[in-house]
Amino acid sequence: KAGVTQTPRYLIKTRGQQVTLSCSPISGHRSVSWYQQTPGQGLQFLFEYFSETQRNKGNFPGRFSGRQFSNSRSEMNVSTLELGDSALYLCASSWTGGNQPQHFGDGTRLSIL
């Protein structure tokens, strides 16, 4: 069974631009969560989607948004990029979320110039 797939693996953007990251969960998994990982802050929860609805949200500004499609694939969008948005963005999927273990992708490394 294929694991969680994130594309692209690397991305370079400049301040003010916007970016869209994609995540394909493990087949059958309906919950997709997104995290931002930085050396200073560690892994920080962005949001979780389940059945095309945002079910949980972390403490990130509205510039960070996401969506989930009917096939459970998810996209994350960041608008008006700032230098501080440079990070590894991880996606994780699980059957239903909650107390289910999460399966992580390799991440998308976003660099802002």
Partner 1 sequence: AQRVTQPEKLLSVFKGAPVELKCNYSYSGSPELFWYVQYSRQRLQLLLRHISRESIKGFTADLNKGETSFHLKKPFAQEEDSAMYYCALKYIFGTGTRLKVLA
The contact set with partner 1 (CB under 8 A) reads 3, 33, 35, 42-45, 48, 56, 58, 90, 92, 98-99, 101-106
Instruction: Give 35 or 81: the residue with its C-beta nearer to partner 1.
Output: 35
CB of 41 to partner 1, least distance (A): 8
Residue type at position 71: N
CB of 40 to partner 1, least distance (A): 10
Instruction: Give 85 or 97: the residue with its C-beta nearer to partner 1.
Output: 97
Residue type at position 8: P
Q: Distance from first CA to last CA of the chain, Å, rounded?
A: 37
Q: Is 50 left (phi over 0), alpha (psi -120 to 50) or beta?
A: beta
Percentages (nearest 5) of helix, strand, coil residues in the chain: 5, 55, 45
Instruction: Give 73 or 104: the residue with its C-beta nearer to partner 1.
Output: 104
CB of 101 to partner 1, least distance (A): 4
